[in-house]
Structure 1
Amino acid sequence: WTRFGRRRPYFLVGAIATTLALIAMPNSPSLWFAAAMLWIMDASINITMEPFRAFVGDNLPEEQRTAGYAMQSFFIGAGAVFASTLPWLLSNVFNIASTAEAGVVPLSVKIAFYVGAAGLFAAVLWTVLSTKEYSPEQIAAFERAKQEALGAPADDGPEAPARSVQGWMTSGLVCAVLGGLGFVLISVMDLEKELLVLAGFFAGFGLLQIAVGIMQRRRIVNAATEILNDIFRMPETIRGLAVVQFFSWFALFAMWIYTTAAVTRVHYGTTDTTSAAYATGADWVGVLFGVYNGVAALAAFTLPVLAKRIGRKATHALMLLLGAAGLFGVFVIREPGLLWLPMIGVGFAWASIVSMPYAILSAAVPDRKMGVYMGVFNIFIVVPQLLAATVLGLILKTLFDGQAIWALVLGAVSFVLAAVSALFVRESRSLPPTRNP
C-alpha cells in the first residue's frame, strides 16, 4: 500500500510500458526487435490488466462481482471493436495504404498502433486519477465480515508453509532437470527453437522453488516465498478454474495466431504476404475480430442474467461451447463473406472468458489475497500462450502439412475440453452482502 494506492501504481507503470512498446513495434528495425517488443507489450499489458481484475474484486461485494466483471467485459469488447476495425477503416475509408514493400510495415498499420497507444494511455490515466481504493484496514474489515457470515473464525495469523524445505528442493530439482533435458533434446534433435522458451519456463520454475526452499530454511520471508507458497496452497476452486483457463486460452491463442494465415490461404487462396489478396483477407480478419468483440460487448449484458438462472459454471460452459462451434464454423464455411456468423459464437465465449472465471475466483479467495491470486491465475494464461506459440506450430507442421486452418479445429476441441472442465469446478458458498456501497 502506498499513498497512491495498491493497484493504481501498477495501472500507470504498465500503461507507460505498453504505450512505448506499441509505438516502437511498427518501427522495429528487425524481426528480433519486433518480437522483443511483442513480449514486452504482452508483459506490460498483464501488469496493467491483472490489477484491474483485482480492483473490481476489491471494490464490489460478492453479489455484485458477476455484473462488475461483465461490465469490464463490455468495455474490453467495445474497445477491441474499434481496434480490430481500425486498419480496415484507415485503408478503405481514409484511403491510407494497407500494402507496402516486403519488410516494410504499411502506413495504415503504423497509424493504428499509434492511435491504440494514445487511447490506452489516456484511458488508464483517467482511471488512475478518477478512482479510489479501499485501505488495507478496510479490506481486513471486509474479510472479517465475510468470515462472520460464514460462521468461521477470523484467521489473521501467519500461514504455515505450503511445503517442507525438502519438498521445495525435491520438486524444484525435478522441474529444473526437466527444463535442462528439454534444452538438450531441442538442441540434439534440432527441434523448433521456440520450444526453448517452454524449457526455460520449467527450468526457471524449478530454480525458483529451490531458492524458496533455501530461504525457508533460513527463515527468510519475502514476496517470492509468499507468492510461491500461495501457488501451492491454492483453493480447490482455483485449481479447477486453472484447467478451464488453460484450455480456453489455448483455443484463443490458436485463433489469434493462425486465423489470418488460415483465412488468407483457405478463403482467399494466397500465402503471399505482399499480395493484394492477402491484404484484403487480413483486413477482413480484422473486421471478423471486430465482430466477435462487438458481440462480446453486447453479450456481457446477458451473462449476469443467465448466471442467476442456471449458475455461473453452467453459463461459462455454455459460452465455451458456443466458442467451439464458432471456431469449427470457420473451418466448415468456405465463403469469406459469411465468416462473421461463426464469430458470433466466439464473441459469446470471449465475453464469458474475461468475466465469469474472475467472478468465481473472487468468491473463493480472502480479500487480502485478491491481488496475489489474480496474478497467480494469470500463469494459467501464460502457459497456454507459450504452448500455442511453440508446440502448436510443431503439431501443424508435423501432422497437418503446415495448414493453419487446422489450428482453429484444435482450438475448437480445446474449447470443448474447457467447457467440460468448467462443469467440475467447485464453487465457494455464496455469501450475504458484507459491505455497504
Structure 2
Amino acid sequence: MRIKKPTLSFWQIFNMNVGFLGIQYSFGLQQSAINPIFLFLGASEEILPILNIAGPVTGLIVQPLIGAISDKTWSPRWGRRKPFFLIGALLGSLCLFAFPLSPALWFAVGLLWILDVGNNMAMEPYRAFVGDKLPEKQLSIGYQMQSLFVGAGILLANASIFLFQDWFGGGEEISGQVPKWLYYSFFIGSFLSIATILWSVLKTPEIPPTDEELEEINRHKALSFSERFKVPFVEIAHAVKDMPKFMWSLSVVYLFQWYALFIYWQFITPLFRTTMGFDTSQAAAQAAKMSTTYNVVTAVVALILVPLTMKFGGKRIYALSLFGTSIALFAIPHITDPVYVLFPMVLFGIGWAAMMGIPYSMVSKIVPQERRGVYMGILNMMIVIPMGIQTLTFGPIFKNLLGANSVNAMLFAGTCFVIAASLALRLKVVKDPNGD
C-alpha cells in the first residue's frame, strides 16, 4: 500500500530545491573554471578531455550505487536520502576550498576526482528525494524548479568569475600559477555547497516508508555485511534488465546531447583564444559571461516550460529545445564580437532548462516508487557514459579529424545536437504499469 502524497505549496517545493543552488554552483565552476585552471597549470588543449575523465568514472560508479543504497535506507532521525547528499555536499565544500590553491596540475586533477565523488553523491539522492516527496501531478513543476536552481547556481558561479577578474584581476599571467582573482569564486562555492543543502534538509521532512517498505529495509539490515555489499550491484543489474523502453530510447538521445555539451564546456575557452585572440584569462572570463547569459535565460524560462510541456507534450518541447541549442553552437564560432556572441546563449539557455527538467520529469512518472533512487542513478549513468566516451575519443578526433581547431570542435558539437533533437522526436512516453 502506497502513502498518498500531499500536494505541496510553491514555497515548499522551492525550499526543497534550494540545495541545488550550491550543487550547481560547484558544477558551474567545473564547466567554466576548472579547465582554465588546468591550462594555467600547464595542460595542453588536446589533453583537456582526458583530464576530465573523473566526471564519467565517478558518476558511473557513485550515482547508481548511492541510488540503490539509499533505496534500502531509512533512519527516523536522518531520513532516507538526506544523509547521502549531506555527506556529498560536505566533501564538495572541502574540495572547492582547496582547488584554487593547487600547486601543480596533478594536484588539481586529483582534487577533481574527489570533488566529482562529492557532487555525484549529493546529486543522485537529491533528485530521488524530490520524486519521493511530490505527487505525480506536481513532478513537472518539481523538476523544473530544479532546473531553475541549476540555472541560478551556474549563473552565480560564472558571474563571479568575470566580476572578480574585473575587480581583482590585471597583470600578466604567470605560468604554473592560478591567478588570485579566481580564488574568491571557489571560496564562495565552498560555503554555498553545504549551506544550501542544510537549508533544504532543515526545511523539508522526508516521507516515511510504508510498512511494506520498512519491512524490506529491515530485512536488508539483517543481512551480513558481504550480502549487503552485493545488494546494490544486484539491484542495478535487475533495474537495467527491467528498465522501461523509454529509458533505452532516451539513452541514445543522451549519448549525442551530453557528448556535445562536454565538447562545448571543454573548448569554449580555447575557442575564444582562437576566434578573438584572447589570452587564457580573457577567454575564461568571456566563457563565464556566455555561461552567465544562458543560465539567466534558464532561470527565467524554467518554470515557463511547465505549462508548455503540459499543452504540447514534453518530448516536443525537449526536441525543439535541443534543435535550438544546435543553432547556438553553429553560430558561436562565426561571431567575433564579445557582446554579440552572447545572443546565441538565449537558445542555449532554453535548451539547458529543458535538458535539466523535462527528462527527469518524464522518467520519474514511469518508474516504480520503490526503485526511484536506482533509476535516477541509471539516468545519470546515461550522462556519464557519454562523458566517458567523449573524454576517451574526442582528443584523437580533435587532433586528427578536426585539425586541432576549436572552431571545428564547436561545429561538431552542433551537429551532435541536431542528431539528438531528431532522436528526441521519436521518443514514445508510455506509463509503466508498475510505476506510480
Q: TM-score, normalised by structure 1?
A: 0.76
Q: Which residue of 2 aligns with 1:116?
A: 189
Mapping of 1:154-193 within 5 angstroms? none
Residue identity in the other structure for 1:115: I
SS in 1 for 2:382: helix
**2-structure distance, mates of 1:95, 1:35:** 26
Equivalent pair of 2:100/2:186 in contact (CA under 8 Å): yes
In structure 2, the partner of 1:304 is 306
For the residues of structure 2 that align with 1:225 and 1:305, how far apart are their CA atoms? 39
Distance in 2 between residues matched to 1:66 and 1:76, nearest whole Å:
15
Q: Secondary structure at the match of 1:336?
A: coil
Give 1:330 deviation, angstroms.
0.6
Change (3 A) 1:223 1:334: same
Q: Does 1:319 pair with 2:293?
A: no
| Residue of structure 2 aligned with 1:44, choices 102, 118, 137 | 118
Instruction: Tell me which residue corresponds to 2:209.
Output: 136
Residues 374 and 139 (structure 1), Cα distance of their counterparts in 2 relative to 1, 3 Å cut: farther
Alpha-carbon distance change, 87 to 137 in structure 1, aligned in 2, over 3 angstroms:
same
Alignment correspondent of 2:102? 28
Q: Residue 227 and residue 429 in structure 1: after superposition, are their counterparts in 2 closer, same or farther (change >3 A)?
A: closer
The CA distance in 2 between the partners of 1:320 and 1:362, in whole Å, is: 21
Say yes or no: does 1:238 pair with 2:247: yes
Q: Is the 8 A contact 1:97 1:107 kept in 2?
A: no
Q: Counterpart in 1 of 2:32? A: none
Deviation at 1:390, TM superposition (A): 2.5
State the 1:233 CA deviation: 2.0
Partners of 1:354 and 1:286 in 2: CA distance:
19
- 1:99 deviates by 5.2
* Amino acid aligned to 1:244: V
Do 2:165 and 2:182's aligned partners in 1 also have CA atoms closer than 8 Å?
A: no
The 1:354/1:392 distance shift into structure 2, 3 A limit, reads same
Matches within 5 A, 1:37-76: 37-76=111-150
1:398 pairs with 2:400: yes
Whether the aligned pair in 2 keeps the contact of 1:296 and 1:348 (CA below 8 Å) is yes
- Offset at 1:130? 1.8
**Quick one: structure 1 residues 411 and 138, their matched pair in 2 at CA, closer, same or farther if it must change by over 3 Å?**
farther
Q: Percent identity?
A: 35
Cα distance, 1:325–1:128 mapped onto 2, change above 3 Å = same
Instruction: Assess if the C-alpha contact under 8 Å between 1:91 and 1:98 holds in 2.
Output: no
CA contact (8 A) 2:99 2:111 kept: yes
Deviation of 1:30 (Å): 2.0
CA contact (8 A) 1:99 1:279 kept: no
Give, as a single letter, the amino acid of the residue that structure 2 aligns with 1:259: I
Give the Å deviation of 1:333: 2.0
- Aligned partners of 1:257 and 1:340: how far apart in 2? 18
Confirm or deny: 8 A CA contact 1:363 1:428 kept in the other structure.
no
SS at match of 1:401: coil
Match in the other structure for 1:355: 357
Q: Is the 8 A contact 1:87 1:112 kept in 2?
A: yes
Q: Deviations over 1:125-145 (max 9, x none)?
A: 21122211112208969xxxx
Deviation of the 1:34 alpha carbon: 0.8
Q: Within 5 A, what are the aligned runs for 1:143-154?
A: none
Residues in 2 aligned to 1:311 and 1:80: alpha-carbon distance in whole angstroms: 27
Give the whole-Å Cα distance in 1 for the aligned partners of 2:202 and 2:333.
46
After superposition, where does 1:419-434 map in structure 2 within 5 Å? Answer: 419-429=421-431
**Equivalent position SS for 2:339:** helix
Counterpart in the other structure of 1:417:
419
- List per-residue Cα deviations over 1:286-339 (Å, max 9, x = no partner): 111100111111110221111012100101001111111111111232323211
* Structure 2: runs of 5+ lacking an equivalent: 1-73, 220-225
Question: What amino acid is aligned across from residue 77 of structure 1 in structure 2?
Answer: G
Q: Which runs of 5+ in 1 are unaligned?
A: 142-157, 159-214, 271-276
Amino acid across the alignment from 2:155 = V
Look up the match of 2:34.
none
The 1:226–1:278 alpha-carbon spacing in structure 2 relative to 1, beyond 3 Å, is closer
- In 2: Cα distance, 1:430 partner to 1:294 partner: 35
Task: Identify the residue that residue 336 of structure 1 maps to in structure 2.
Answer: 338
Shift of 1:96: 4.1
Q: Partner residue of 1:104? A: 177
Give the corresponding residue for 2:63.
none
**Aligned-pair CA distance for 1:39:** 2.1
5 Å-filtered alignment, 1:206-225, equals 222-225=231-234
CA distance in 2, matches of 1:115, 1:409: 34
Amino acid at match of 1:384: P
How big is the alpha-carbon RMSD for the aligned residues of Structure 1 and Structure 2?
2.3
Secondary structure, aligned partner of 2:343: helix
* 8 Å Cα contact 1:73/1:296 also seen in 2: yes
> What is the distance in 1 between the residues matched to 2:334 and 2:230?
55
- CA shift, 1:97, in A, is 4.6
Please say if residues 77 and 293 of structure 1, whose CA atoms lie closer than 8 Å, have aligned partners that are also in contact: yes
